[in-house]
């Protein structure tokens, strides 16, 4: 492996695996977390927590830390960090790679409604006459659903890793759970709450894909929020490809989009 010092923007399962495997290969790696979720930072490598203070802060961090490579393995719905990473890497002259797992794709028997964003998801719930909705969008993305009819209208079940505090949806039921999830449990959850519509962001994660199989089997509609557009530049889908990129010292041999 290369003797490079890697700054790894973390927050996903791929980032955790990449950090571990780079560390095992004696690559110097520092994993960076935004610091929004507890209990996800037990990594063998060096760890830093908290924002950099925008593009300028990240440029300074790249210089000050003596980093040779920047790997952006943030979540597919991280809307700002990938753009900051792209701009900072260019300014600092540090090769950057985006690790972005493929999105989920609808198959036979799926009832999916693709929507542009969370506001679109909220509108679609009204349009389709949803009554009992399972929201798996994450605790920071509940605001978009607050303007919808309450009372005898839509009833929400919110599933998130940590309890949303405050909970912006009055009367919603909260289920806390951390993946991976299995189809059987997801079917039970849908049945227990009489769910007719599931709202999810298209994260593409294996650990949370069982809800889509369960929705198909139970005939539950899925309102699927599309991902934000990533910045142009080198991109891979898997940890293996990212390891290869690091081993080559950030050579631009992968897809440039």
Strands (E), the chain: 5-9, 28-33, 46-49, 69-72, 96-99, 112-115, 132-135, 155-160, 173-176, 197-201, 221-225, 235-236
The reply to whether 77 sits near ligand NAP by the rule CB under 6 A is yes
Quick note: the x/- pattern for ligand NAP over 80-99, rule CB under 6 A, is xx--x---------------
Between 75 and 221, whose beta carbon lies closer to ligand NAP?
Answer: 75
The reply to whether 104 sits near ligand NAP by the rule CB under 6 A is no
Between 81 and 187, whose beta carbon lies closer to ligand NAP?
Answer: 81
CA 254 from centre of chain: 22
The reply to whether 200 sits near ligand NAP by the rule CB under 6 A is no
Number of residues binding to ligand NAP, judged by CB under 6 A: 24
Residue ranges in 135-164 that form contacts with ligand NAP under rule CB under 6 A: 138
Per DSSP, helices labelled H in the chain are: 13-24, 54-64, 81-92, 118-127, 183-192, 210-218, 239-247
**Running DSSP on this structure, what letter comes out for residue 256?**
B
Using the contact rule CB under 6 A, the part of the chain among 53-61, 90-98, 174-182, 243-251 near ligand NAP is 53-61
Using the contact rule CB under 6 A, the part of the chain among 32-40, 113-121, 125-133, 148-156 near ligand NAP is 32-40
Contact 138, 201 (CB under 8 A): yes
9, 115, 220, 243: which one binds ligand NAP (CB under 6 A): 9
- What is the C-alpha radius of gyration for the chain, rounded to an integer number of angstroms? 20
CB of 132 to ligand NAP, least distance (A): 23
Give the other-Cβ count within 10 Å of 58's Cβ. Answer: 25
Between 72 and 196, whose beta carbon lies closer to ligand NAP?
Answer: 72
């Amino acid at each position: 492996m290369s003797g490079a010092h890697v700054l790894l923007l973390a927050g996903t399962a791929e980032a955790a695996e990449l950090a571990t495997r780079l560390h095992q290969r004696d690559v110097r790696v520092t994993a960076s977390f935004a610091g929004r979720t507890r209990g996800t930072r037990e990594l063998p490598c060096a760890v830093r927590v908290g924002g950099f203070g925008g593009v300028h802060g990240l440029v300074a961090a790249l210089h000050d830390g003596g980093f040779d490579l920047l790997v952006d393995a943030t979540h597919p719905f991280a809307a700002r960090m990938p753009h900051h990473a792209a701009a900072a890497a260019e300014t600092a002259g540090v090769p950057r790679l985006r690790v972005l797992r493929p999105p989920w794709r609808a198959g036979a028997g799926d009832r999916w409604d693709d929507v542009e964003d969370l506001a679109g998801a909220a509108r679609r719930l009204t349009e389709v006459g949803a009554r009992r909705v399972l929201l798996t969008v994450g605790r920071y993305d509940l605001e978009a659903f607050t303007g919808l009819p309450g009372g005898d209208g839509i009833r929400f079940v919110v599933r998130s890793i940590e309890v949303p505090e405050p909970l912006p949806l009055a009367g919603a039921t909260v289920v806390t759970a951390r993946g991976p999830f299995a189809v059987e449990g997801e079917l039970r959850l849908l049945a227990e709450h009489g769910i007719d519509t599931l709202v999810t962001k298209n994260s593409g994660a294996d650990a949370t894909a069982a809800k889509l199989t369960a929705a198909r089997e139970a005939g539950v509609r899925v309102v699927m929020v599309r991902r934000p557009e990533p910045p142009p530049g080198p991109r891979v889908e898997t940890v293996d490809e990212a390891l290869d990129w690091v081993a080559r010292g950030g050579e631009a041999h992968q897809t440039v989009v």
